[in-house]
Chain A
Amino acid sequence: MESGESGSLSAAQRRAEIRRRKLLMNSEDRMNRIVGFTKTESENNAGTLLRPAEPHFHLDLDRTEPWSSSSSSSQRPSPFPPESSGLGSRSHGATPERRGSPLPDCGEPPGGSLEDDAGGIRQRPRGERAPDDLGGSPRRGLQKYLSRFDDAMKLRGQLANEKPAQDGAPEVEEFDPFRIFRIIGSVLLAVFVRGFVCRFLSIFAPFLTLELAYMGLSKYFPKVEKKAQTTVLTAALLLSGIPAEVINRSMDTYRRMGDVFADLCVYFFTFILSHEILLLVGSETDGPPGSQ
Chain B
Amino acid sequence: MASGYAWFLVLGSVFLCNLMKTLLPTISSFLTKMVQKDAEQESEMRAEVQVMKKEQASISMMDEFARYARLERKINKMTDKLKTHVKSRTAQQAKMKWVVNIVFYILQAALMVSLIWKYYSDPVTVVPSKWIAPVERLVAFPTGVAGGVGITCWLVVCNKVVSLGLHAVS
Contact = CB atoms under 8 A, between A and B. Distances in A.
Interface of A: 168, 171, 173, 175, 183, 198, 202-204, 261-262, 265-266, 268-269, 272, 275-276
Contacts of A266: 160-161, 164
Contact of A173 (B127, B131, B158, B164): B164
B134 A272 contact: no
A204 B132 CA distance: 7
Interface residues of B, number: 23
B130 interface: yes
Nearest to B129: A202
B125 A275 contact: yes
B65 to A, nearest CB: 42
A114 to B, nearest CB: 52
Interface of B: 7-8, 25, 125, 127-128, 130-135, 149, 154, 156-158, 160-161, 163-164, 167-168
B163 A202 contact: no
16 contacts: A173-B164, A175-B167, A183-B164, A198-B131, A202-B131, A204-B134, A262-B160, A262-B164, A266-B161, A269-B158, A269-B161, A272-B127, A272-B154, A272-B157, A276-B7, A276-B125
Contacts of B163: 171
Contacts of A262: 160, 164
Contacts of A175: 167-168
A65 to B, nearest CB: 36
Given A168-B25, A272-B149, A276-B7, A261 B160 contact: yes
Contacts of B154: 272
Nearest to A268: B157
Contact of B135 (A168, A204, A272): A204
Nearest to A267: B157
A202 B161 contact: no
Contacts of B135: 204
Given A202-B134, A204-B132, A272 B164 contact: no
A262 B131 CA distance: 20
B55 to A, nearest CB: 37
A198 B158 CA distance: 21
Closest 10 pairs (CB-CB, A-B): A265-B160, A269-B161, A202-B133, A265-B157, A198-B131, A269-B157, A203-B131, A268-B157, A265-B161, A266-B161
A276 B163 CA distance: 21
B168 to A, nearest CB: 6
A24 to B, nearest CB: 48
A203 B132 contact: yes
Contact of B132 (A202, A265, A269): A202
A241 to B, nearest CB: 34
Given A175-B168, A261-B160, A276-B7, 7 more contacts: A173-B164, A198-B131, A202-B132, A203-B132, A262-B160, A265-B161, A275-B127
